[in-house]
């Protein structure tokens, strides 16, 4: 029998204060560096959004609550450019008012961030970026809107992401880059785990001949959890690409990844410690100005303890395929993917997960000022970790069906009106994790850019 222990909390709320201070300091440093050069005209764009909507499951709870709501938001974007320097700054906040669910009234979301680039020569580029995002009850969605997980916790979630990247192009086709990323996430709810994610990655791309290109990359990550065991991961890959004419590429890629849980609990180590070896080959082609496609397929093998990791000692297919056709007024894209990875989002670590996705995206432009966008997707996530060690996170197979439609009308140079509809149906093996939502939004957006 394994003895399960609960480690003491490791992350303190005071770290958030340090992160906020770092954000202000980095912004001031970037502004100072840019102002040291001869300034050109900057573009400052304040904006206002007003949203009226209805949802039959506000905040995606297990017991649905429906209501109408109004959201008002303000923000500003700044764009500065100097010789060898560029700086983008953004900030915004949104307030929500519900008709019946008055307990949900108040702050809805806010963000502030910057992206600074310094390019002393065509061969060197330095990037410093920081983004602070605060949302209320949004951890169940990814940055692209795809449903990742559901949870019983509620409340505000703060996330700060800092990135530093160096890119060196030592010839027209050869380059090397180094990137460091830190993401700190803190939840208002006591049951929400705080996490501190650090990643260091490097990539090297070298053109061997006119037709052959070699790419090599390594990365290492560490995630510190407030309560759960910390995890360390490493990955290395090599990819060989052959250029077949001006519009076609073929490639082969071999990668190795390792995952380790830093825990004194033997059960946790048996379920979270594993290695994967993946081999993938593919081809892509721009057939014409209108038609382009890509297809990649492969196989991934997992080495681990099959008693607590259902993926251990098994193989899984890899797929990355898409096709896009651009008509005179419309664009249609279809895609299908299959991959194997560690699901870790906003404090939830669900272990090794097999994911399949398929979808269609269609855009039609009626006139210069009016367009329609339709998106439909099916997602299947198969969580491989044993339920014995995965009580508080996702289990089994989860099927998600997503559809969205958006009609946009540019009323005026500074005014835009959008009508949006979205549908989500999440069918999980654990019935308490099922979710369904219909939502309609009418969004009025206005901005007024001016030079400074």
The tens digit of pLDDT for each residue in 365-397 reads 999 999 999 999 998 988 877 655 544 456 678
Q: Please determine, for residue 262, whether its predicted confidence score (pLDDT) is greater than 50.
A: yes
- Tens of pLDDT, residue by residue over 88-101, are 999 999 999 999 99
CATH class of 14-40+50-451: mainly beta
Q: What is the 3-state secondary structure (H, E, C) of 13-62?
A: CHHHHHHHHHHHHHHHHHHHHHHCCCCCCCEEEEEEEEEEEEECCHHHCC
Instruction: Mean pLDDT check: name the lowest of 29-33, 43-47, 320-324, 376-380.
Output: 29-33
CB neighbourhood size of 171 (10 A):
9
Using an 8 Å Cβ cutoff, are 65 and 58 in contact? yes
What's the mean pLDDT when you consider all of the chain? 85
Structure letter (DSSP) for residue 269: H
Q: What tens digit of pLDDT does each residue of 134-164 get? A: 887 554 444 444 444 565 556 788 889 999 9
Residues forming a β-bridge with 435: 426
Average pLDDT estimate for 190-205: 88
pLDDT of 284 strictly over 90: yes
| Domain range summary for the chain, segments of one domain joined by + | 14-40+50-451
Q: What angle do CA 164, 340, 432 make, to 5 degrees?
A: 100
Distance between start and end Cα atoms, the chain: 69
Q: What SS3 state is found at 190?
A: coil
pLDDT of residue 386: 62
Q: Report the pLDDT averaged over residues 353-363.
A: 92
Strand partners, 333: 324, 361
pLDDT above 70: percentage of residues in the chain: 82
| Tokens at 400, concatenated | 């998600």
More confident residue, 173 or 393: 173
- State how far the Cα of 297 lies from the Cα of 282, in Å rounded to an integer: 6
Q: Alpha carbon 24 to chain centroid distance?
A: 24
pLDDT tens digits for 211-230?
A: 999 999 999 999 888 777 78
* Per-residue pLDDT, 15: 38
Q: How far is Cα 100 from Cα 80, in angstroms, rounded to an integer?
A: 44
Q: Which residues contact 395 (CB under 8 A, 6 or more apart)?
A: 383, 387, 429, 430
By the 10 Å C-beta count (0-12 exposed, 13-18 middle, 19+ buried), 1 is classed as exposed
Percent of the chain with pLDDT over 90: 58
pLDDT of 393: 55
Q: Give 3-state DSSP helix, strand, coil % of the chain, rounded to 5.
A: 10, 65, 25
* CB of 298 closer than 8 Å to CB of 281: yes
């Amino acid at each position: 029998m394994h003895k399960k222990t609960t480690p003491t909390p490791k992350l303190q709320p005071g770290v958030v204060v340090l992160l906020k201070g770092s954000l202000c300091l980095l912004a001031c440093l970037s502004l100072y560096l840019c102002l040291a050069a001869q300034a050109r005209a900057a573009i400052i764009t304040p904006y206002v959004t007003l949203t009226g909507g209805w949802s039959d499951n506000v905040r995606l709870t297990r017991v649905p609550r429906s209501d109408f709501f109004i959201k008002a938001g303000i923000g500003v974007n700044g764009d500065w450019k100097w010789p060898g320097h560029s700086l983008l700054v953004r900030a915004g906040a949104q307030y929500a008012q519900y008709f019946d669910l008055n307990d949900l009234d108040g702050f809805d979301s806010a963000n502030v961030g910057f992206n600074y680039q310094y390019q002393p020569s065509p061969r060197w580029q330095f990037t410093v970026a920081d983004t602070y995002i605060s949302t209320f009850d949004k951890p169940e969605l990814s940055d692209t809107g795809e449903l990742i997980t559901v949870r019983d916790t509620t409340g505000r979630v703060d996330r700060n992401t800092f990135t530093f990247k160096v890119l060196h192009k030592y010839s027209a086709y050869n380059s090397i880059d180094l990137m460091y990323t830190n993401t700190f996430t803190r939840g208002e709810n006591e049951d929400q785990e705080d996490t501190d994610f650090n990643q260091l990655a490097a990539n090297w791309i070298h053109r061997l001949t006119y037709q052959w290109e070699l790419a090599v990359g390594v990365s290492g990550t560490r995630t510190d959890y407030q309560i759960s065991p910390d995890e360390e991961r490493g990955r290395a890959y090599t990819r060989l690409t052959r250029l077949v004419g001006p519009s076609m590429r073929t490639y082969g890629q071999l990668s190795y990844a390792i995952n380790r849980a830093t825990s004194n609990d033997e059960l946790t180590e048996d379920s979270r410690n594993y290695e994967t070896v993946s081999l993938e080959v593919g081809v892509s082609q721009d057939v014409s100005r209108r038609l382009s496609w890509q297809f990649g397929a492969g196989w991934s093998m997992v080495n681990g303890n099959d008693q607590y990791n259902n993926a251990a000692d098994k193989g899984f297919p890899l797929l990355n395929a898409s096709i896009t056709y651009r008509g005179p007024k419309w664009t249609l894209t279809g895609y299908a993917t299959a991959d194997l990875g560690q699901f870790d989002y906003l404090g939830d670590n669900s272990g090794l997960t097999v994911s399949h996705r398929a979808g269609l995206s269609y855009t039609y432009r009626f006139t210069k000022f009016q367009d329609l966008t339709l998106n439909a997707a099916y997602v299947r996530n198969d969580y491989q970790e044993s339920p014995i060690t995965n009580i508080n996170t996702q289990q089994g197979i989860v099927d998600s069906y997503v559809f969205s439609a958006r009609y946009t009308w540019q009323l005026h140079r500074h005014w835009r009106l959008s009508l949006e509809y979205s549908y989500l149906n999440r069918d999980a093996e654990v019935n308490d994790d099922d979710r369904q939502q219909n939502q309609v939004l009418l969004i009025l957006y206005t901005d007024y850019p001016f030079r400074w």
